[in-house]
Amino acid sequence: MNTEIIGVVFMYLATIALAIPLGKYIAKVFKGEKTWLNLMAPLERFIFKFSGIDAHREMNWKQHLKALLTINVIWLFYAFFSLLFQGHLPLNPDNNPNQTPDLAFNTALSFLTNTNLQDYSGESGATYFTQHFVFMFLHFVSAATGLAAMMVVFKAMKEKTTEKLGNFWEFFLKSITRILLPISIVVAVILAFNGTPTSYKGKDTVIGLQGDTVHVSRGPAAAMIAIKQVGTNGGGWFGTNSAHPFENPNYLTNMVENISIILIPIALVFALGFYLNKKKLSWVIFGVMTIGFLIMLIPSITVEVGGNPAIAHMGISQPGGSMEGKEVRFGPAASAYWGITTTVTSNGSVNAMHDSMMPISGLAQMFDMMINAFYGGVGVGFLNFYIFIIIAVFISGLMVGRTPEFMGRKIEAREMKIASLIALLHPFIILVGTSLASYVLIHFPNINWGTKPSAWLNNPGFHGFTEMLYQYASSAANNGSGYAGLTANNIFWNVSTGLVIFVGRFLPIIGPVAIAGILASKKAVPESAGTLKTDTATFGIMIFAVIFIIAALSFFPALTLGPIAEHFSIK
């Protein structure tokens, strides 16, 4: 094995080794047990006192959602207006302009929802103020929102018949003070010592060795990059994200950042087991997710390391594999690994340009986002998986002729309706968006918009179609990575993906919380010989089949028109 493959294997094993104790720790935090970060308690008490919040008041699921949605609305307006007037606000050493209304709409929604699709470049489209006071702030609170929603579901699974499901503010704030902020500080310090800028100085101008004048964008980036990875946000300081040599200076930082991408998502799977005291269930879920992850990962690494056959035909050597859009310091294996980890987790940061990757990689990345539950985003990944569990329980129940039960609660028509709607919503918004864009592109290529549809795509043929499909898959999955060749900063794309992002975030939070809340209030059915065991390998296979069938049936036709057709046109 060469050092690139060893690097990838090590990254994954190191993540697991950290995720298990972290999961145990997270469970402790939310059970209210003592941990060494209890030193944050005075700060938390101060924040609650200042905000006039009684963190001990138990809420039912509807109250949780009201609190969650109220504060998200406030953030949306705050972000939108800050971006709209960023040119006039302080901390703008490079004199960057205001964002246009459609761009501000897209960007505000995108960061609010943990998506971080970026139709601007940080060097010219944002200011130090908006990078920190809007983006980085939202990095923390959007991840904490996901964690708080997930905790409602955890709590609902744990308690006996109850309406009381903990306090939203407590879940929310502890996610920040005890999980996200401490890990981010560690990651930011590692980045700073490896060359990521931390100071507030603006652009520098230097004359290079060959005599060219170069303007070098800088800024206090390390703090933001840390939480962008830890919170599965993905929106970076610089336009090219973690491919930028300031944002990700060397292989060590690449390992740290990439571990941060999937650390909390994996830890949460184990946290569930520690929290419910059902470790076997955790391992079943982890097993399903890991198998799905590996099915995507291995082909992607293989094709990227193998190189581009079209370039091989030119008779040159590709010892480093396919290198278009990739950085020498990471190489193709670590770039492919990042591409899969960032799409399974709804992170969406990139260390190589996905648009230039091989079609099989694009297929795998899009499939990750279409499923959006193999590890998944911080908090919300589990919520998506929960929907699949509910469906799997229901179908299994039908197959064996028993009333479907999960965690001792009967799953009935109302819960199933919500679960089905949420499961179908995701393909619906992706495919409707892509069809609409394709329709406009074909029928109105030269319509007189700021950007004519005929100028949207950066590549012809199947690959061009993939650029559009990828954009909606990324928006709906709240991922935020892109086939960056797409000219997305115009009204059509800013508005349409903005809406997809919005729907794709909040309904999949509301749905699972509602199901869990309804189930928790039902009478518990005692476990009997006829109860379907959910912590077995058989049930794991069942969940996997449900996920695979829903995703494959929904998306296979669209994928055929994009990456699959492109793959088969390789000569």
Partner 1 sequence: MKTYLLPSFKITIILIVILAGLYPLLIAGIGKFTPGHGDGETVTYKGRVVGYANIGQKFTKDNYFWSRPSAANYQADAGAGSNKGPLNPDYLKDVSARIDTFLKHNPDVTRAEVPAELVTASGSGLDPDLSPAAAKVQVPRIAKTRNIPAAELYKIISDNTERPVLGLFGPPTVNVLKMNVALDELKK
395 residue type, one letter: I
Site for partner 1 in 328-387 (CB under 8 A): 328-331, 334-335, 350-353, 355-359
Euclidean distance between CA atoms 140 and 120, whole angstroms: 21
Show the site string, 113-142: x = touches partner 1 by CB under 8 A, - = not: --------x-xx-------xx--xx--xx-
Q: Which is nearer to partner 1, 71 or 491 (CB)?
A: 71
Binder of partner 1 out of 108, 192, 364, 564 (CB under 8 A): 192
**What residues between 146 and 185 interact with partner 1 by CB under 8 A?**
169, 173, 176, 181, 184-185
**Which of 33, 58, 324, 527 is in the footprint of partner 1 by CB under 8 A?**
324
Helix H or strand E encompassing 216: strand 213-216
* 316 scored as a contact of partner 1 (CB under 8 A): yes
Residue 42 in the binding site for partner 1 (CB under 8 A)? no
For residue 354, give the nearest of 263, 245, 501, 243 by alpha carbon: 243
- Closer residue to partner 1 (CB): 106 or 466: 466
Owner of token pair 């997930």: 150
Q: Which stretch binds partner 1 (CB under 8 A): 153-161, 204-212, 339-347, 418-426?
A: 204-212
State phi, psi for 89 to the nearest 5 degrees: -85, 165
- Residues numbered 381 to 420 that lie near partner 1 (CB under 8 A) are none
Torsion on CA atoms 475, 477, 479, 484, rounded to nearest 10: -40
Measured from the CB atom, the residue of 152 and 373 that comes closer to partner 1 is: 152
> Which of 67, 389, 430, 551: binder of partner 1 (CB under 8 A)?
67
Q: Figure out which of the listed residues 206, 294, 421, 549 binds partner 1, where binding follows CB under 8 A.
A: 206
Minimum distance of partner 1 from residue 292's CB (angstroms)? 25
Q: Which is nearer to partner 1, 23 or 348 (CB)?
A: 348
Among 95, 277, 317, 446, binds partner 1 (CB under 8 A): 317
Told to check if 52 binds partner 1 by CB under 8 A, we report yes
Rounded Cα distance between 231 and 389, Å, is 24
**Does 53 contact partner 1 by CB under 8 A?**
yes
d(CA 407, CA 531): 10
- Short-list 205, 83, 207, 196, CA closest to 138: 83
And the tokens for 180?
């996200």
Contact pattern for partner 1 over residues 218 through 257, marking x by CB under 8 A: x-x-xxx-x-----------xxx--xxxx--xxxx-xx--
Helix/strand/coil (H/E/C) assignment for every residue in 400-411 = HCCCCEECCEEC
Instruction: Provide the minimum distance between the beta carbon of 24 and partner 1 in the complex, in angstroms, as a whole number.
Output: 26
Rule CB under 8 A: is residue 92 a binding residue for partner 1? no
- CA gap 204, 217 in Å, rounded: 7
Six token digits for residue 521: 């209030």
Task: Tokens for 352, please give them.
Answer: 């190589």
Q: How far apart are the C-alpha atoms of 253 and 193, rounded to whole Å?
A: 10
Closer Cβ to partner 1, 133 or 544, answer by number: 133
Which string of x and - marks every residue 435-464 that binds partner 1 (by CB under 8 A)? -----------------------xxxx-x-
**Spatial distance between the Cα atoms of 159 and 384, rounded to a whole number of angstroms:** 21
Q: Is 56 in the site for partner 1 (CB under 8 A)?
A: no
Choice from 39, 41, 298, 310 touching partner 1 (CB under 8 A): 310
In contact, 547 and 289? CB cutoff 8 Å: no
- Size of interface with partner 1, in residues (CB under 8 A): 119
For 103, residues 6+ apart whose C-beta sits below 8 A from its C-beta are: 83, 119, 120, 125, 489, 494
Tokens of 431: 């495919």
The encoded tokens of residue 569 equal 């046109």
Q: Does 143 bind partner 1 (CB under 8 A)?
A: no
Minimum distance from residue 51 beta carbon to partner 1 (Å): 4
CA nearest to 381, candidates 143, 205, 217, 567: 143
Among 402, 420, 400, 404, which residue's Cα sits nearest to residue 412?
404
Residue 206 or 549: which CB sits closer to partner 1?
206
212 touches partner 1 (CB under 8 A)? yes
Minimum Å distance from CB 377 to partner 1?
19
The torsion of the CA quartet 549, 551, 552, 553, rounded to 10 degrees, works out to: 80
Residue with smaller CB distance to partner 1, 336 or 392: 336
Q: Does 217 bind partner 1 (CB under 8 A)?
A: yes
The dihedrals phi and psi of 162, each to the nearest 5 degrees, come to -160, 160
The CB-of-207 to partner 1 minimum distance in angstroms stands at 7
Candidate segments 150-158, 187-195, 429-437, 520-528, binder of partner 1 by CB under 8 A: 187-195
Shortest distance in whole angstroms from residue 36 CB to partner 1: 19
Q: Does 201 bind partner 1 (CB under 8 A)?
A: yes
Residue among 102, 170, 257, 327 that touches partner 1 (CB under 8 A): 327
215 bridge partner residues: 205
What SS3 class is residue 214? strand
